[in-house]
Amino acid sequence: MSDCITDEILNYVKDDTASAQFAICLYGEWGSGKTYYCENVLAPELEKNGYSMLRVSMFGVGTQEELYNRILATLCHVSNPRIQKMAKNVSQGLLSILGSHGIRLDGAGEAIISAMTLEKTLIVLDDTERSRFPKAKDDLLGIVNDMVENHKWHIMMIRNEPFSLSDNDSEKVISRQFEYRPTAKTIYDAVAARDYLPENLDFNLKDAIVSAIESSGKLNARALMRALPTIKRVTESEVMCSKQIAAEGRRQALIDAAHFCLVIGAGSTLSKPERKTRNGQDIDMDYALASMEWDRYQALSKIVDPICTGQLASSNVIGECLSAYIAKEYPDSPADMEAKAIEDKMPQLYSLDDSEVREIAQNLSSVILKHEFSAQWLYKIWTINRLLRELGFDEALSPDDAKRCYRKKIDKDPMAAYEVLSEQYTTWLGTEGTERDANLDELCQYATDSIKRLKGGERELSPSESINEESGKRLADEMQTRLNEPLTTLTLIPPTYVAECFFRGNGNSQYELHRFFRGVLGSQFGRASDSEPFSEWLNDIVCELKRRKADSRMGNIRREWLISDVSDILEGVESLRRAVSRDKDYD
């Protein structure tokens, strides 16, 4: 885009016909890098073509005399030695002659410049909106019109907004206007390219910052100037260098942080979005996307908000904030990324040569042996390893070796391992010809036993504990919490304790137990894989509830409800067990 503008400006400077007796205008939003473009792109191109540029800042200029004096001062400091010498000699000579004849020196700047030859020079009047010219008298457009008509100079005015060419004064002076719209790379080159940024990161830092500029939509050099000190501190944090976090996760976190730094650096404010659709069933995609953006901003606000007041977040705050953010948004470890790379190759597996498949098997074995991958990969990695073994590639681990590694992985977090193995394994059973895997069944049981061992070390619930009228409600809350764990952990609560909490509870406490078994557990029992101990636990609860009566009429009604609740779940579990047994017989 800037190349096209440069070509157009070069054509204007080269044109000495009547059509060139107008000024041109370059406009673009505040901070977009127009001045940087003139100095670093346009000026070198003009010089290549035998022309020079004279850029004059209009900031604070309010009269014609001030403008010409500013041009003269700039002329005396241009880099072109020939023009610099000419300006100095002409100005000294004319000032000496005028002074010797007692002529006032007001307006001498115009007289001096008019005596010079500037036909191969582009005069750039920068920041024209920041001048102090009055509207009705001695206006800037009139002066520019005199420059192009009488002096035959080539003038380019720089503004934030374009002129309205329907206005008579503008129409008489301005022939063409060009909008300057920088790219994210241009903004980076203008502000950050010469700054010191870390070079020890294992991802392309420039590409990451350019991506942040693009995603923020803030193609604004001044916004990046304000944001850059914070972005630098983020890049220098220990988190960004941690090899325990996948490079892609660190890169994405940097992009997100830099994105919001730029938004705040541009003076924008972020607020919590409000849903526009009244019907709760309607899908409001704008609201959903804005909510996701808001959540990410909130997570990084301690890093970016200090930019508003010209401050920097401390290194400790940045480290803590980034660690929490990456753990939530980009939790994949380097081993996870290795596993993902292997998974991505699976669709092409049958078109690969032996050497390529052998390399995949070797890489996968390395991933499993290190067992540093997240629990979410347990089932996927197992199935890929088994497939490679079935294809005859001994580079993949044997089932026994894989199980040995998996047990170590399960020991680190049996709860997470159980959830992944049981849920993903159960989901695939019976679909696309997937059959039961005795080794996976063994690992699921190992995870269950590990959880029970952990729970066995905790304080057990017992009827001998102090039980009061609120204990039923507390027990319902405790059981609901345990639903985030395998259902077998519920069986660690003694059935006698469940019954005692019910009978000693008040009406609300008894009702909460009814609500839990009917509405909560009743909808989730189907995910029990080892249903025998679970069904025994339910049956024992029914027996305990039937042994005695409640002390009140309403209490006995609620007792009947609870017996019915638990019995219904028990019947469902038994039905599930029978179905699983039939499937095994069929296999």
Q: What is the DSSP string of 344-403?
A: HHGGGGGGS-HHHHHHHHHHHHHHHHHT-S-GGGHHHHHHHHHHHHHTT-TTSPPHHHHH
Percent of the chain with pLDDT over 90: 27
**Mean pLDDT (whole number) for 428-437:** 65
- The pLDDT-based confidence of 115 (bands split at 50, 70, 90) is low
CB 154 within 8 A of CB 13: yes
Model's pTM, two decimal places?
0.56
Identify the CA nearest to 123 among candidates 171, 67, 164, 162: 67
Could you give the count of Cα atoms lying within 13 Å of 498 in the half-sphere of its Cβ? 29
- The pLDDT-based confidence of 21 (bands split at 50, 70, 90) is confident
pLDDT digit string, tens, across residues 495-548: 888 888 898 889 999 999 998 988 888 776 655 445 677 888 888 899 989 988
pLDDT digit string, tens, across residues 32-65: 888 888 988 899 999 999 998 999 988 888 888 8
Asked whether residue 191 carries a pLDDT value surpassing 50, the answer given is yes
Residue 104: the pLDDT is 44
Q: Quote the mean pLDDT of the chain.
A: 81
User: In angstroms, rounded to a whole number, what is the distance separating the alpha carbons of residues 150 and 7?
Assistant: 26
Identify the CA nearest to 254 among candidates 326, 191, 310: 326
- The pLDDT-based confidence of 79 (bands split at 50, 70, 90) is very low
Residue 212: the pLDDT is 93
Q: Which residue has the higher pLDDT, 226 or 422?
A: 226
* Residue appearing with tokens 């009547």: 18
**Mean pLDDT (whole number) for 161-165:** 83
Q: Mark 347-363 as b/e (b = at least 16 C-beta within 10 Å).
A: eeeeeeeeeebbebbeb
Residue 2: the pLDDT is 64
**Mean pLDDT (whole number) for 542-561:** 90
Residue 69: the pLDDT is 82
**Mean pLDDT (whole number) for 188-197:** 79
CB 587 within 8 A of CB 434: no
Identify the CA nearest to 534 among candidates 496, 581, 486, 578: 486
pLDDT digit string, tens, across residues 135-158: 644 488 888 888 888 888 899 999
Q: Which residue has the higher pLDDT, 46 or 100?
A: 46
How far, in Å, are 236, 246, 313 from residue 203 at the CA level? 13, 10, 24
